[in-house]
Amino acid sequence: MISTLLHVSIETSVIDKTVDIYFTDLKVISKKKIKSKLEPFNPQKGEKIFITKGCCLPRVKIKNYYDNQGFNVSNTNDIDKADYCIIGQDTFQEYLYYRWYYLAKTNDFIEILQQIKDLDYEIRMDEEVFNSYNLSSILVESSFNTDIDHIIPNYEYKELDYKRLEYIKDNDEDFFNSFYEKKLISESEILKNINGDDAAVIDKERYEVLSNMLSSSDEDNITLAMEIMANSHYSKSIIYLNLLFYKYAHTIDNMGKHKRHVNFKSLLRYMNLTPGDLHISCEGVIKNLYSRNKLNTDNLNIYCKEFIQSLSLRDDNSYYGGGLNFVEIDEITLDHELVEKALGNSFTYKIEKNGN
């Protein structure tokens, strides 16, 4: 999982005809490989769970989650004793460092070394380190080509790849080696059921109550509405949660510390939102439902009733209707790529009239 990229520094002396090459290493890691190891959470009796930094899981709720699911497991702060590691959305930001580097092909570098030797330069470097290196690229300075150009006549510049790399500090290597040996799960696997099956489901009636609370000028009402949202059953309330964020993102955004409370942050994490970006467009609602396998006819009827029936919706991504009072519409077809993927065809919404 951890790869060691060699970083090359070059010092030359044209007078002495020497080239000194120094190697340092960079411990790089692949987030893609880590994510490929994610698996369902099905712990056995007595197993221990390590929650990585960057997870947004309230400790009280996660203990209740284990109990509600019948998992006879416990958390541990010692990764070496853990069977599972939970990875959060911000885990990589907590543990990894990021920097842009120039990379040259290792074969190109070997070819350059041979050209320098052919010019009777003495190359001084750690042969053992370099001969044991087996990666296809090597890290170089931005001045690599110009440095070599001073040595080799008619030098043909090599292609350098400017790439953002994720790396770890040397003292974190043991942690990541241990981490990679564990069974890995995403916090989203737990978030969808974090409040348990007994948690309140936001249905049409609760949605209307919460809408009234969030429309209020009373901050206590808004705070209570946010608490109800945060403690609801996320997956069973997904359509109405999307609608609430669509309509009241600005109101919630003004609630300062309340939107950063650990419970509400868990909800934001589940919704793929952040305290700094709470808005969901009507296009975003479709994408959100699709990504959670919730883009079904029941939710589409709720969606269309909210967005289409008034024929007055505008936002950054979509526009439905507008100023067609003289036209009587019985049904509207929602022709959307994700809808067709979910249902196998477009969706037709029949307009409700006179409250029927």
How confident is the model over 47-85, as pLDDT tens digits? 999 999 988 888 888 888 898 888 999 999 999 999 999
pTM of the model: 0.70
- What integer is the mean pLDDT of 127-137? 93
pLDDT in tens, 243-274: 999 999 999 988 877 888 888 888 998 898 88
252/241 Cα distance (integer angstroms): 13
Q: How many CA atoms lie within 13 A of 300 on its CB side?
A: 22
Which candidate, 74, 87, 60, 61, places its Cα nearest to that of 195? 61
pLDDT in tens, 185-223: 999 888 888 887 788 899 999 999 999 999 988 899 999
- What integer is the mean pLDDT of 273-286? 87
List the structure tokens of 128: 């053992």
230/149 Cα distance (integer angstroms): 61
Q: b/e map of 193-213 (b: 16 or more CB within 10 Å)?
A: bbbeeebeebeeebbeebbeb
- What integer is the mean pLDDT of 84-98? 89
283/288 Cα distance (integer angstroms): 9
List the structure tokens of 251: 């109101």
pLDDT classification of 117: cutoffs 50, 70, 90: very high
pLDDT of the residue at 319: 47
The overall average pLDDT reported for the chain is 87
- What integer is the mean pLDDT of 98-105? 94
Output phi, psi for 134, to 5 deg.
-130, 15
N- to C-terminal Cα distance for the chain? 60
229/250 Cα distance (integer angstroms): 16
Under 8 Å between Cβ of 30 and 2 = no
Under 8 Å between Cβ of 285 and 245 = no
Under 8 Å between Cβ of 214 and 271 = no
In the predicted structure, residue 351 carries a pLDDT above the cut 80 = no
- What integer is the mean pLDDT of 233-240? 93
Under 8 Å between Cβ of 12 and 31 = no
In the predicted structure, residue 313 carries a pLDDT above the cut 50 = no
Which candidate, 208, 258, 243, 265, places its Cα nearest to that of 313? 243
pLDDT of the residue at 77: 93
**More reliable by pLDDT, 277 or 209:** 209
